[in-house]
């Protein structure tokens, strides 16, 4: 029996600049980069030194803690620069293409006849393992553990998110192949959630399909896991994003590692919000070329809640399928703290009037709308937080580093992105996602 996932608590942040459902093909850019920081907790060991010629799919580096986990180059070309930061930390591995894509051939495989171990090894060799992330801790999955279930969220409820129903259409064969491969990796079930009856994921076989409805964060995997099969201490759940399933599927079917994504260009500073096909790691300026109003603009790889700020010379994140551009809010506002507010979102009604018109789309900027304070207000986070967890108490436990309490309060079940909404509405402007990330890192270090 598939179980429907329905939540009431949450908040849809409606912004202007939703992508129109047209897709433009972009020519392959010239410089690409893979940023090891996109893979949280991974310490890279470089395989392809500066000057090496690589094909698309060839490994650039591996994870220091497990050398089987390879991180492939998204494009073919020459490793032109390895950018290092403080203490020689690898920040970016830049690859300059010669204008054409050459793929390393991994060979076609028949997933149905493969064993779990064979699937695993194939994913290692082809550099597809980093697509599999795990709960707890929200990091690249540890292949030595067996997950009790694998979750794929086929519905993205984040602000202005790419519509999976649109970007996945026509990819049914790849999705099915990848899902079949995933079923071999777990003793439990593979759970797939769909947001509407048009979803290409609706008709997948061998998996359990759930239809989801409700406000953001219903599309977050943690929300769905909590409703279907909550994580207990000592258990592991793996998570794969649908756009990564397409890459895995194509690799299995054709033998090519083709990490081309349909990326949504969104936000009020994008002139013509639409979808474009882009290879992961592309330079932002190539992607948004002539389509952005770049005066005092914040460019974000990802969505406005948990995306990463990038500049125009930066690169799109490895997992991201969205670029958002919104105005910076670095200006003062006369009596902004007490005058009635009509052009910003708020969950209270303290002379803020977004409750009058729940359908209105807002053009929010990056102003914090107030200064950082100690936690004062209570009870408001719970209204946008659908998990059976006390958010304030868990945040505080993370701040004072009480591992027992974090464990007891449900830190195994969450990812930083689950605290994006509480961070958004926080009156004290506390950095919730950062607090949670640091808490999870501490747990990972101390408890393994």
**List 190, 287, 364, 395, residue binding another protein (CB under 8 A):** 364
Residue 81 or 407: the one with the smaller Cβ distance to another protein is: 407
Residue 204 neighbours by CB under 8 Å, 6+ apart: 175, 176, 179, 192
Residue pair 243/37 in contact (Cβ under 8 Å)? The answer is: no
136 preceded by a cis bond (ω within 30 of 0): yes
Residue 51 or 234: the one with the smaller Cβ distance to another protein is: 234
Helix 391-399 and helix 432-447, axial crossing angle in degrees, nearest 10 = 60
First to last CA, the chain: 34
Strand partners, 191: 151, 208
**Lookup: tokens for 241:** 């994003």
Residue 65 or 232: the one with the smaller Cβ distance to another protein is: 232
Residue pair 56/73 in contact (Cβ under 8 Å)? The answer is: yes
According to the binding rule CB under 8 A, does residue 58 interact with another protein? no
DSSP characters over 348-359: S-SSB-GGG-TT
- Which residue stretch of 29-37, 131-139, 188-196, 378-386 sits at the interface with another protein (rule: CB under 8 A)? 378-386
Residue 199 or 365: the one with the smaller Cβ distance to another protein is: 365
According to the binding rule CB under 8 A, does residue 91 interact with another protein? no
Residue 86 or 376: the one with the smaller Cβ distance to another protein is: 376
**List 298, 317, 323, 439, residue binding another protein (CB under 8 A):** 298
According to the binding rule CB under 8 A, does residue 346 interact with another protein? yes
Residue 411 has what DSSP assignment?
G
φ/ψ of 423, rounded to 5, equals: -65, -40
Residue 221 or 395: the one with the smaller Cβ distance to another protein is: 395
According to the binding rule CB under 8 A, does residue 378 interact with another protein? yes
Instruction: Report, in Å, the least distance between residue 152 CB and another protein.
Output: 23
Contact positions with another protein (CB under 8 A) in 64-83: none
- Which residue stretch of 73-81, 119-127, 185-193, 421-429 sits at the interface with another protein (rule: CB under 8 A)? 421-429
Contact positions with another protein (CB under 8 A) in 182-221: none
Residue 2 or 369: the one with the smaller Cβ distance to another protein is: 369
According to the binding rule CB under 8 A, does residue 365 interact with another protein? yes
Residue 380 has what DSSP assignment?
S
Residue pair 418/217 in contact (Cβ under 8 Å)? The answer is: yes
Q: Which of 328, 379, 384 is nearest to 9 (CA)?
A: 384
- Which residue stretch of 132-140, 161-169, 279-287, 427-435 sits at the interface with another protein (rule: CB under 8 A)? 427-435
Contact positions with another protein (CB under 8 A) in 305-324: 305-307, 309, 324
φ/ψ of 300, rounded to 5, equals: -125, 130
Residue 97 or 303: the one with the smaller Cβ distance to another protein is: 303
């Amino acid at each position: 029996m598939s179980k429907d996932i329905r939540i009431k608590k949450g908040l849809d942040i409606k912004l202007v600049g939703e992508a129109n459902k047209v897709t433009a093909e972009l020519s392959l850019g010239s410089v690409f980069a893979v940023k090891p920081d996109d893979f949280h907790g991974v310490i890279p060991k470089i395989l392809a030194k500066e000057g090496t010629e690589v094909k698309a799919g060839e490994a650039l580096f591996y994870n220091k803690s497990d050398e089987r986990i390879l991180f492939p180059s998204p494009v073919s070309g020459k490793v032109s620069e390895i950018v290092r930061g403080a203490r020689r930390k690898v920040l970016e591995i830049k690859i300059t293409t010669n204008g054409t894509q050459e793929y390393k051939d991994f060979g076609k495989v028949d997933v149905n006849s493969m064993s779990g171990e064979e699937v695993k090894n194939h994913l290692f060799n082809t550099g597809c393992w980093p697509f599999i992330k795990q709960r707890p801790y929200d990091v690249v999955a540890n292949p030595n553990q067996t997950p009790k279930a694998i979750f794929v969220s086929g519905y993205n409820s984040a602000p202005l998110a790419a519509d999976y129903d649109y970007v996945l259409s026509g990819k049914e064969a790849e999705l099915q192949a990848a899902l079949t491969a995933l079923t071999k990796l777990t003793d439990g079930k593979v759970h797939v959630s769909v947001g509407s009856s048009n979803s290409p994921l609706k008709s997948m076989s061998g998996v359990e399909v759930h239809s989801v409805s409700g406000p953001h964060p219903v599309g977050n995997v943690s929300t769905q896991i909590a409703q279907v099969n909550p994580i207990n201490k000592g258990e592991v759940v793996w998570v794969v994003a649908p756009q990564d399933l397409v890459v895995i599927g194509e690799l299995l079917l054709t033998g090519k590692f083709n990490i081309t994504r349909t990326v949504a260009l969104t936000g009020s500073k994008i002139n013509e919000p639409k979808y474009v096909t882009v290879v992961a790691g592309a330079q932002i300026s190539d992607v948004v070329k002539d389509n952005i109003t770049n005066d005092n603009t914040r460019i974000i790889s990802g969505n406005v809640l948990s995306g990463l700020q990038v500049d125009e010379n930066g690169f799109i994140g490895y997992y991201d399928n969205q670029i958002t551009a919104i105005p910076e809010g670095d200006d003062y506002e006369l009596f902004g703290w007490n005058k009635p507010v009509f052009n910003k979102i708020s969950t209270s009604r303290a002379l803020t009037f977004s409750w009058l018109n729940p359908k209105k789309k807002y053009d929010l900027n990056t102003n914090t709308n107030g200064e950082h304070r100690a936690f004062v207000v209570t009870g408001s986070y719970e209204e946008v937080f659908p998990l059976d967890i006390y958010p304030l108490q868990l945040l505080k436990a993370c701040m004072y580093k009480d591992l027992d309490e974090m464990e007891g309060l449900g830190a195994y079940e969450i990812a930083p992105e689950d605290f994006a909404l509480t961070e958004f509405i926080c009156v004290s402007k506390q950095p919730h996602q950062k607090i949670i990330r640091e808490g999870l890192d501490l747990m990972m270090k101390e408890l393994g």
